[in-house]
Chains A and B, each alone.
Chain A
């Protein structure tokens, strides 16, 4: 992928984290003070924000002139749903700003034009994410085919949706588990995951509306499918945690970086 495209992709991830920071800000205690405190702690004054809507809204908030973020909020919830919003707004704000700062460092290193290659444990974790992304694409094609299928297709559809959630969970876990910039591959994958998750949610909604109008699905059957989905998410999360252990072990072996 050309270097400019990498920078653009990382900027999209920065937009995602800037949006999360804005949403967290709406619910945080003492939002102005906390934002200023974290901004300074993370050295974000040195981060050059882009002219995207999310990053400009965040810059305005830092300058003490909050803007109407309702469009960003709606887009975010269309992609992730309400259930994705963490309950602890202060912690979410801190994490979002930290991720924004890390992505910003990575963007600026990439922009210097120097050669970058991530280490084997990180590459493996990123490859796993890419693989899950590919499964997501496969599931997406399957869902397109299943849109008009009778009820037996429902279980596979729910499981496909669970795969989408799992991939996003894996991405989030990878980002959280690394006290260092995000692997380049994972960064590049993130916008695709956001897009695919939005598509899955639309398919889910369409299916639910269609089924409701027909008044045919048995609620018990639907509940079973949802339990299967939860099981699928739990089971698929295991390799992700194993990856995290590998990464942490590798870092312990490597010792302090300086």
Chain B
């Protein structure tokens, strides 16, 4: 998925970034985590996070929700 496609999904509320205020970063969409690896080119597409990384993002999302609450 391209960056512009995912940003449009965020704009419409269909997708949610892990950290509010980030333009590029881990994003929850369609029941899965999407991200761009740190060593990828700046214009790289988003890719699905693997199980291990998804578990880390789940944990971080739980912590951010506590901070928002």
Residues of chain A having any CB pair with chain B under 8 Å:
3, 41-43, 46-47, 98, 101-102, 104-106, 108-109, 112-122, 178-181, 183, 251, 254-258
Closest to A104 in B: B63
Q: For residue B22, which residues in chain A have a CB less than 8 angstroms away from its CB? A: 116-119
A115 touches B24 (CB 8 A): yes
Chain B contacts to A: CB under 8 angstroms: 11, 13, 16-26, 28, 35-40, 44, 53, 56-57, 59-60, 62-64, 66-68
Are B35 and A115 interface neighbours, CB within 8 A?
Answer: yes
Q: Is B60 in contact with A108, judged by CB distance below 8 angstroms?
A: yes
Q: How far is the CA of A183 from the CA of B22 in the complex (A)?
A: 9
Contacts between the two chains (Cβ within 8 Å), count? 95
Q: Are B20 and A251 in contact (CB-based, < 8 A)?
A: yes
14 A-B residue pairings within 8 Å (CB atoms):
A46-B62, A46-B63, A114-B26, A114-B38, A115-B25, A115-B35, A115-B36, A116-B25, A117-B24, A179-B68, A180-B19, A254-B11, A257-B17, A258-B28
Bound Cα distance A53, B69 (Å): 30
- Chain A neighbourhood of B23, CB < 8 A: 117-120
Note all chain A residues with C-beta closer than 8 A to B24. Answer: 115-117
